[in-house]
Structures are given as C-alpha cells and as structure tokens.
Structure 1
Amino acid sequence: MPTESSYPRLDIPNIDLWTFLFEREEKKREFPEDKVIYKDPDTNRHYTYAQVRSTALEFGKGLKSVWEWKKGDVLLLYTPNCIDTPAITWGTLWAGGILSPANPGYTVDELAFQLKDSGAKALVTQKAFLSTALEAAKKVGIAEDRIILMGDERDETRQFKHFSAIRNLAGTSRYRKAKIDSKKDLAFLVYSSGTTGHPKGVMLSHSNILSSVTMGNVSEGGNLSWKGQKDNKGDQILAFLPFFHIYGLTCLVHQALFSGWTLVVMPKFDLERFCMHVEKLNITFAYVVPPVVLLLGKSPVVSKYNLSSIRMMNSGAAPLTRDIVDAVWNRLKIPVKQGYGLSETSPTTHTQRWEDWKDSIGSVGRLLPNQTCKYMDAEGKEVPVGQTGELWIKGPNVFQGYLNNPQGTANALTDDGYFKTGDVGHQDEKENFYITDRVKELIKYKGFQVPPAELEGLLLSHPDIDDVAVIGVYYADQATEVPRAFVVPRKGVEAGDSKGQEIVGWLGKKVASHKKLRGGVVFVDEVPKSASGKILRRLLKDRVKEEEKKGQKAKL
C-alpha cells in the first residue's frame, strides 16, 4: 500500500502567492512589518517585509504601465543571487506574469534556448551579465528596450533602465492585481538541469509553491523563528544556494518571507566568505549541498573561524552519506540533517526532523504532510517496505507538466497523479526514506546494479581523497559496465598508479565483489558539478568517450 505522511493533514488555502504572502491578517503574521528579511552583507543594503511588498507592488504596476504586461507573460531573470530578486519575482506575479529564473553561468546559446522555450517577453539581468543577455536576446528577437537591470550597478549610457526606473514609471492607481486561478495558473517556469539533452521547463503553479511553503513550515517553522535568538533578532539564515534553482527559490526566498527569517544573501558560494559571515553575523542556520558539507568536514580554511552559532544545517540536492555528516559533527559539532525534493515537487517532499536527526543519518527523513508515495520496481509493481525501487510521489506540490513537452509529461506523470521521480531508494519501518541514486545513473555490472553515490560516500571517507565521482564505463570485451572513480586527491598526495591501486584495493575490502572499481581510478583536479551541487556525470562520460577514441583506457 502507498505510504501516507504521518504528519496531520494541512489546510492548503486556494489563493495566489501574493495573497498568501502579503495579504495575511496581521495577527497571523507573527513578525512586524519593519522586520529585515533580505540583507546584503557586503553593502548592508536590505529589504524589510514592508519594503519588499511596496517595491514588488510598484514593479508590478510598472510592468503593466510600461509594457502592458498581460496574464501569462513570462519574465526571465538572468542573475546571481541578489536582494532585489524577491521584489522583482512577486511584482511579476502580482501583474499576472510568470517568472523563469536562469543560471547566470549560461552561455549565449543556453540562455537563448530558455528565452525561446519559455516564450519570455522581457529579461532582467545585472550589468556584469549584460553582454551575454544582449546577444541571447538578439538571437530570439527580444528588443533591447525589453532588457532591464537589477542590483547595485547602473548603465552609465542610460540605454538600459534599472528596474527601479520601471517602478517609478508606474505612477497610477488604476492598475489592479491580476486574477489568478491558484491551481491552474503558473507562477514559475524553472528549468531542470537534466543529464542529457536540453533542460526541461518545469511548470509550477501558484498552488504548487504555496503548498511547498506550507508543508515546509511544518519541518522548520517550529525550530526557526524571527525572534528568540541572539539580540532577539531571530534566526539568521545564510543564503548562497542559487535563487534560480528551486531549492533556493522556495526554501530561501519564499520561506524566509513567510516565516520572518533574516536571509543573509551571498551572490554565490565561497568557503572563506561563508565562514566569515557565519562568525561575524552569528548565522544560526544554513541550507547547504553535499559539496559544501564535504568542505566543512575537510578544508583547513574552516579551522580559522568560529562557526559555533550554527544550530543546524539542512543538506539537499544530492545524496549525503553518513561519513560526511559524521566528519562535520566530529570536527565542528554542527548537526547536518538531510532533506529531499525535486524541481517537479516544488521541491521538498521529505526531511529529517531536528529532534532525531542522529537516529536517521543517511536517510532523507519523513514524508511531509499532504503527500502519498510508494517505491516501484521496473515492472511498475509496488515493492514492500525495506526493498529497493523507484520513488513515486503524489501531492499538491507536484508540478503541472513540462513546457512544450507532452511526451516528457506523459512519461513522468501517471494517470492517477503520481510523479515518477527517477530516484532509487527504500523506506524503513520507522518511516524514514532513503534515496541512494538516480535510476539512469545506476551502473549495470553483469546484471548487478551498482549505485555510484554509495561508492562515492565510502571513497570520501578515505583520508587522501578530497572529492570523487563514480561513473559506469562500458567494456566491450566484457560486455558490461564497470565502475570507475574520478578522484580529486588531497593536497600533497602523489596521484599516480600506486595510489590509484591502493584506493581500488581499499574500497574492494568494503564492498561486495560487483561494486569493486574494475574501471580503475583516474585523478582529476576537480569534479564537474552543477550550481546546485549535483555531479555532472555526463561530462565525465564525454571525457571517457574522447579518451577511447584516442585508444586510452584506465588500468583494471
């Protein structure tokens, strides 16, 4: 039987996101209007709750006034994290628009693809990214006067308006908030990274995001607060996760405003600055990804700072192993719990509880309210508790489908509303869920399935390894895939055949025969990863193909 969440069911209001966030009765909003929500630690510029609302309202009216913004029009946001992002986001939604955030690391062609696929009517970026934005916009026919700037820098030529100018041009009260059908009308088009082909546009309604925030408040709301911490300023959340990714967009941008947390916004992750901000600003909580947890457990930089103000961290976006969690706990006494979600589920579906994180290390915790899930085998049959299968999830947070991709939507969603996650794992008898790998990333060795993440977790506990990725490499002479490890050695370690063979032998004593590194060890300077911390295995596989063309092959 499918598993229902053990949490009490929540009443999910059938309203749009603007109403949900900004039109609550004051008695239901526990924090004051002058509470600082978003803060830039480098410039000290900030937005209070009231300032976010007024700025968003002015921007929404400006969109209608300047560009005659219509319901369903898409605004694309091409920028690193910035404290202007929330106001621009909700101003777009107030006007009935859809926001599509894009990775600021995109090339011209990658950005042009998202502009065209999403049908974007306009583009917001920062001055440093203007040249790429201009070239991509030109490729898809977006006029230059539909490109505006955000952030601290202005265009000295005055050719490109700042978003604040759009706000100031509103100047009228005749514009009204768009009427929204919460369950049908889209709020966001986020693009999933995907392992092959172009990214897919994930269609998320107002209700999808609203449901996720409401459900997420169950897990963090009782522990994180706007008051009660140092100087009674409330919890300080360090925000470096990209706002263009669903993890940062929901868990940081939305959850902070709903709950009244102060979000200390970093444009991107930098370990030294992360540690510096934690010490200086008494950061109490951080949403992180496994590569960051790994650095906190191993990097010598961390030893220079006092990180004791952190009460808890939550890791997501990729599997987190016990070895990495233990390393941080033993070194810093900082608890790291784990959560799970996907772009298609808005994102969070599971998370470990604060009170018993130690008892369920390695799991992604419990199923959040209002959801049902089950693990399925390759034939589409549900597997019993404890057995491994693909996780399927149903709930109000599940997306509306993939934009312009009916076949992809049909493959991902069942007739009765389950989303096939593509993630492999199992459930234990204590209601803890485990995610061990992606279906498509499992290595098939002579009929046996080998999860790369399991081998990576073990290898990361090796004292001479700083980072690692494992992929399957096909050996035609054996007619099977074999596991190969791409290893970033610790500084000072000699990366040669002898060390590679030592690592192969070390792991071989810890795993079953079919999981041994029969594809050998390759030493690399870094493991390619997405902005959200996922290992980009396809790039490693492309490298292997190129080497095979040249007749190269790692030793067995």
Structure 2
Amino acid sequence: MALERVLSVSQLLEKTAERTPAKEAVYDLVRRLTYGELQKEVHQLACALVSLGIKEGDRVGVSLPNWHETVELFFAISKVGAILVPFNPKYRAHEVNYILANSGAKVVFVCEDFEKVGFESVASLVETVVTVRYEKQGYQSFSELMKKEYQTAFPSVIPDPDNDIFCFLYTSGTTGSPKGVMITHRSVVQSGMAIGKSLKCDQDDVFIIVSPLFHVFGMSCNLMSAVYFQSKMVLLDKYHPHKALQLIEQEKVTVHHAVPAMLAMELQHPDFAAYDLSSLRTGITGASLCPPETIQAVRDRMGMNLCVSFGTTETGSVTLTPYEAQGHHVLDTVGKAIDGVEIRIVNEQREPVPSGVTGEIAYRGFGLMKGYYQLPEQTALAIDKDGWYYTGDLGTMDEEGYIRFVGRKKEMIIKGGYNIYPQEIEDVLRKYPKVREVAIVGLPDPIMGELVCAAIKLKDEVTCTMEEINEFLRPQFASYKLPSRVVFVEEIPTTASGKIQKTKLKDALMESV
C-alpha cells in the first residue's frame, strides 16, 4: 500500500501558518494566538531549545496541562529534531523519576504542580528544568526564554516522517510497568488527517480540546487534526463539565472529542439545558467503552454526530464509525479500520478467525510504533515479522468490517475452565438504574481459579445490595458469570485518559479481602 506524502509535525504547522497566518489558532482562556503568531513563538522557542544545548535526537520532557505553551513546545521540539517526552503533571515522584531516567531527557518543562513531586530529586536527573507560568529561585522560566534574543545559527533539520521519532509516549501502566512507545511523525500527523477527513473537518471548525495533550487521543485526534485543517483550538486545562459547556456556547465549538465519562458528566449537569450547544457538529469518543445510551443521548440532546473510535498508544487511531453510520453500527461497534489501516481478528496461534468469532485484534498500518524504547524483546512479542501488532484487546469483526470491542485479553476471567469477558457483564450492569459506573475483575480463588468481582459506584443517594445486582443479572447470564463478590465503592480508579485502572482496582480489592 503506497503511503501519501505526509509532513513532519513542525512542517504541518509551518504549512498552515503560511496559508492562514491571520486565522485564530489557539485560545486557552489566557491568550488568543493566530497561526502566524503561534509559528513565530514556536521559532523563538526552538531557538531557546538550541541555546539550552538541545540537538537532533535529544529528549525533552514536557509536564504541562493543556496550555498554549504546551502546543508551542510540541512544535518547537519537532522543529529542532528533538524527541518530545510528554507526561501527566499529576504524576508522583516515582512515576516522574522513572520516565525521565528511562527516556534520558536533557531538559524538562514543568508547571507548579511539580513542586509536589520533590523538585530537587527530579532536577538531578536532567540538565535543565524550566518552569512554566511560575518562577523558582535558581531555575530558568519559560517567560525568560521567550524574551531573550538568540544569535545562534538555527540547525537545518528535516525530519523523515516515516522513520524519525516525534515522541516517546509512556503507557499508562494499567497492566504493568510503563513502556516508552516510540511514535513517528507520520503516526500522529496522518492519524489527525484521517480522523478529520472522516469527520468532514475544515478551517471553519472549532475544536474544544478537553483530553490531555500528553495522551495520544489529545495529541493526534485533536491537536494534529485541528492544525492540519487550519481549525481553531479551544484548550481546557482542568476539565469540568460546566466549563466545557460554557466554552462550547461561548466559542461556537463545532468539534468535541471526549472520553465517555466527560460526555456523561455534561449530559447529567443540572444546568445542561441552559446552554446553547447548537454549534456542535461532530466529535469522537474513545479511550474506554461508551455505553450505547450515552452515544444516543449525545446525538439526540447535544445535536452532535458522535462517532466512536478505537486506538492504542502503540498504533494511534485504528477504527472509527463512519460519519454517515446509524443504528447499531454506532451504538454497538467501534467502527471500521480508518484509511491506511488493516485489521484482523486472530486466535491464540495468531491465525485469522471467521467473522463473528471472538479473538485478539491485530493491527497493521502507518501508525505503528517504532517499538518500545530499550525493550527489543517486548517489541518482538508485540509485532511479528510481517508488521502485525497484537493489541491484547479482544473483539469480533462482522462481514462488513465493523469491529465490536469485547475487552482486554489480560482482563479475561477464567473461572473453573470457563472464559468470562468482563465487558459483557459491565455493559448490562451500566443499564441498572442505580449504577453510575462499574468494573468487573477476576480475583484469585483456590478452587475455581478465579471468581467474578464487581466494583460498583452507585448514583447519588441510593443504596443497593449484592442480591439486587445478581437478581438483575440472573435472567441474562449463565450462573457462572454472576459476581461472587460485589463491592460498592466511592470511586473507580482511572487514568488521565479515562481508562479504568483494573490492575490498581484489583490490588485494592484483594487488600480489602
């Protein structure tokens, strides 16, 4: 399959700034920047990076919320041929230390949240720490770097989109230690292009970016897509449904990509009906499964053509429900392979299975990672000699190519020799009127191997019992699938991207036994 010519990340912004320099590019509730102004500041920042000793191939850490400075850094780091290492500013010391040490970052840009991490220990791992939107004695600040005049000759770096690495994205660690996923320029740029084309985006669109830019969803489906289509971006650094709804009305937002939990919170907001959301046109949801009733409610009550996506850090975007799709294709599937991508469903021997049979989702396409940083053995386990990546996710494919997501392979529960897929139980339990959120995990049992455990967050001011839950489930499932244990919890742990952290949940449940 011949690949179309794709620009590098920095070239993408340069091209858009040349075409529409006066077009508003970014509003982050602090500043408004046109594409021309954004490109000018990216160049200044790139000169600052060179002055800090950053050269082609060096790693630069960025631990910031969704700010205009974050956007500038992403493009400036690409412009000098360095490698971006973005991560959550709410990470704790051991997570931050691991990422900086593993990546070998020379410089890291941080916000004031970093003070909680243990600044000195982190500073010892890198050559330079730059503070953003605050000052700290003895350290350079972002504002100082942007005021200086730089005489250094700027290096001529032209990244190869197919082979050069744009960023290391560290996996969320839901199933083990984080791994540095090496992502090419093509992966994020073409993902943004493909998603945007499917959603019929253009320069009149206004994106609200509520997903964190340090996550592949925020980075490729939001940022790169918006820049490619010369659209305006509204950045929200701290998500709150009230603020998101307010900004949709105020900025006439047309494209709203969000994880399911965000959409549910917006729909449930007590003042939802007071906001004018008539500008909304489309958006995608992903990162975790979106209940069919939420999809339908978004389409009906928000007037938005919501599409459903599936992807991974290692691949970028994989599937999307077509813009024109209706009915069960949107409500019950995660769509078809996007342009430039192949998908197949395989068994334990990695052989394709017939239509409708559950197996592992395998991927081949432009978004595939270069590998896990310094982990050749784990890379070889995930990617075969023909370039197929095995996602560890289970699904089925129908005769039209639509994928139905079944769950994580590692989350499958084996009870007395029977395979139990948590998601099918979760899907049903979410429909129970008292349940706000649910996660099903397997807990070890000396006789059965594993038992089904349901962690349930109830809606406000309701009570419930295990007997009630199983009475609801009994008509729909064989008895071996019913939870042997039901725990009612205040919160279910999730990552910044909205994925339930089942490893963390399982550990907590085992400690409480």
SS state at 1:110 partner: helix
Q: Which residue of 2 aligns with 1:61?
A: 47
In structure 2, the CA distance between the partners of 1:331 and 1:63, relative to structure 1 (3 Å rule), is closer
Aligned ranges 1:438-477 → 2 under 5 Å: 438-476=408-446
For residue 537 of structure 1, report the CA deviation from its aligned partner: 0.9
Letter in 1 for 2:69: D
Q: Which residue of 2 aligns with 1:535?
A: 500
Indicate conservation of the 8 Å contact 1:186/1:204, yes or no: yes
Q: Does 1:435 align with 2:414?
A: no
For residue 139 of structure 1, report the CA deviation from its aligned partner: 4.7
Q: Does 1:46 align with 2:32?
A: yes
Q: Which residue of 1 aligns with 2:325?
A: 356
Q: Which residue of 1 aligns with 2:69?
A: 84
* Distance in 1 (alpha carbons) for counterparts of 2:301 and 2:5: 44
Q: Deviations over 1:327-366 (max 9, x none)?
A: 4445555443200111111x11110122114341221111
In structure 2, the CA distance between the partners of 1:276 and 1:211, relative to structure 1 (3 Å rule), is closer
* Distance in 2 (alpha carbons) for counterparts of 1:535 and 1:99: 26
Indicate conservation of the 8 Å contact 1:315/1:339, yes or no: yes
In structure 2, the CA distance between the partners of 1:63 and 1:537, relative to structure 1 (3 Å rule), is same
In structure 2, the CA distance between the partners of 1:198 and 1:449, relative to structure 1 (3 Å rule), is same
Q: Which residue of 2 aligns with 1:195?
A: 174
Q: Which residue of 2 aligns with 1:3?
A: none
User: Of residues 497, 509, 513 in structure 2, which corresponds to 1:544?
Assistant: 509
Q: Which residue of 1 aligns with 2:202?
A: 225
SS state at 1:354 partner: coil
Q: Which residue of 1 aligns with 2:355?
A: 385
User: Of residues 467, 484, 488 in structure 2, which corresponds to 1:523?
Assistant: 488
Aligned ranges 1:164-243 → 2 under 5 Å: 164-172=143-151, 174-220=153-199, 222=200, 224-226=201-203, 234-243=204-213
In structure 2, the CA distance between the partners of 1:272 and 1:117, relative to structure 1 (3 Å rule), is same
Q: Does 1:514 align with 2:491?
A: no
Which stretch shows the higher mean deviation, 250-259 or 180-189? 180-189
For residue 316 of structure 1, report the CA deviation from its aligned partner: 0.6
Letter in 2 for 1:101: P
For residue 309 of structure 1, report the CA deviation from its aligned partner: 3.1
Q: Which residue of 2 aligns with 1:314?
A: 284
For residue 414 of structure 1, report the CA deviation from its aligned partner: 0.5
**How much identity, in percent, do the aligned residues show?**
27
SS state at 2:120 partner: helix
Indicate conservation of the 8 Å contact 1:109/1:136, yes or no: no
For residue 259 of structure 1, report the CA deviation from its aligned partner: 0.9
> How many pairs are equivalent?
512
* Distance in 2 (alpha carbons) for counterparts of 1:100 and 1:308: 37
* Distance in 2 (alpha carbons) for counterparts of 1:154 and 1:246: 27
Indicate conservation of the 8 Å contact 1:99/1:187, yes or no: yes
User: Of residues 432, 448, 460 in structure 2, which corresponds to 1:479?
Assistant: 448
Letter in 2 for 1:118: S
In structure 2, the CA distance between the partners of 1:10 and 1:271, relative to structure 1 (3 Å rule), is farther
Q: Which residue of 2 aligns with 1:494?
A: 463
Q: Which residue of 2 aligns with 1:229?
A: none
Letter in 2 for 1:189: F
In structure 2, the CA distance between the partners of 1:15 and 1:235, relative to structure 1 (3 Å rule), is closer
Q: Deviations over 1:297-323 (max 9, x none)?
A: 445453453434322331011122323
SS state at 1:337 partner: strand
For residue 24 of structure 1, report the CA deviation from its aligned partner: 6.5
SS state at 1:196 partner: coil
* Distance in 1 (alpha carbons) for counterparts of 2:509 and 2:107: 40
Q: Deviations over 1:134-164 (max 9, x none)?
A: 2342352x24xx11123xx331x66333324
In structure 2, the CA distance between the partners of 1:474 and 1:311, relative to structure 1 (3 Å rule), is same
SS state at 1:422 partner: strand
Q: Deviations over 1:492-530 (max 9, x none)?
A: 1124xxx3311211022223433222x232111111111
For residue 176 of structure 1, report the CA deviation from its aligned partner: 2.8
* Distance in 2 (alpha carbons) for counterparts of 1:276 and 1:59: 32
Letter in 2 for 1:34: A
* Distance in 2 (alpha carbons) for counterparts of 1:415 and 1:11: 20
In structure 2, the CA distance between the partners of 1:203 and 1:68, relative to structure 1 (3 Å rule), is same
* Distance in 1 (alpha carbons) for counterparts of 2:119 and 2:15: 37
Q: Which residue of 2 aligns with 1:18?
A: 10
* Distance in 2 (alpha carbons) for counterparts of 1:340 and 1:503: 30
In structure 2, the CA distance between the partners of 1:481 and 1:296, relative to structure 1 (3 Å rule), is farther
SS state at 2:140 partner: coil
Which stretch shows the higher mean deviation, 243-252 or 328-337? 328-337
TM-score, structure 1 normalization: 0.87
Q: Which residue of 1 aligns with 2:130?
A: 148
Q: Deviations over 1:33-57 (max 9, x none)?
A: 111121023x3x1221111211111
SS state at 2:327 partner: helix
User: Of residues 116, 121, 146 in structure 1, which corresponds to 2:106?
Assistant: 121
SS state at 1:120 partner: coil
* Distance in 2 (alpha carbons) for counterparts of 1:110 and 1:25: 36
* Distance in 2 (alpha carbons) for counterparts of 1:285 and 1:404: 38
* Distance in 2 (alpha carbons) for counterparts of 1:58 and 1:138: 24
SS state at 1:84 partner: helix
Indicate conservation of the 8 Å contact 1:238/1:263, yes or no: yes
Q: Does 1:336 align with 2:328?
A: no
Gaps of 5+ in 2: none
* Distance in 2 (alpha carbons) for counterparts of 1:74 and 1:90: 14
Indicate conservation of the 8 Å contact 2:17/2:35, yes or no: no
Q: Which residue of 2 aligns with 1:97?
A: 82
For residue 59 of structure 1, report the CA deviation from its aligned partner: 1.0
Letter in 2 for 1:529: T
SS state at 2:510 partner: helix
TM-score, structure 2 normalization: 0.94
Q: Which residue of 2 aligns with 1:73?
A: 58
Indicate conservation of the 8 Å contact 2:168/2:181, yes or no: yes
* Distance in 2 (alpha carbons) for counterparts of 1:333 and 1:501: 39
Indicate conservation of the 8 Å contact 2:84/2:168, yes or no: yes
For residue 216 of structure 1, report the CA deviation from its aligned partner: 2.4
For residue 173 of structure 1, report the CA deviation from its aligned partner: 6.6
Indicate conservation of the 8 Å contact 1:296/1:328, yes or no: no
For residue 11 of structure 1, report the CA deviation from its aligned partner: 4.5
Letter in 2 for 1:358: G
* Distance in 1 (alpha carbons) for counterparts of 2:234 and 2:473: 40
Letter in 1 for 2:27: K
In structure 2, the CA distance between the partners of 1:159 and 1:357, relative to structure 1 (3 Å rule), is farther
Letter in 2 for 1:449: N
SS state at 1:171 partner: coil
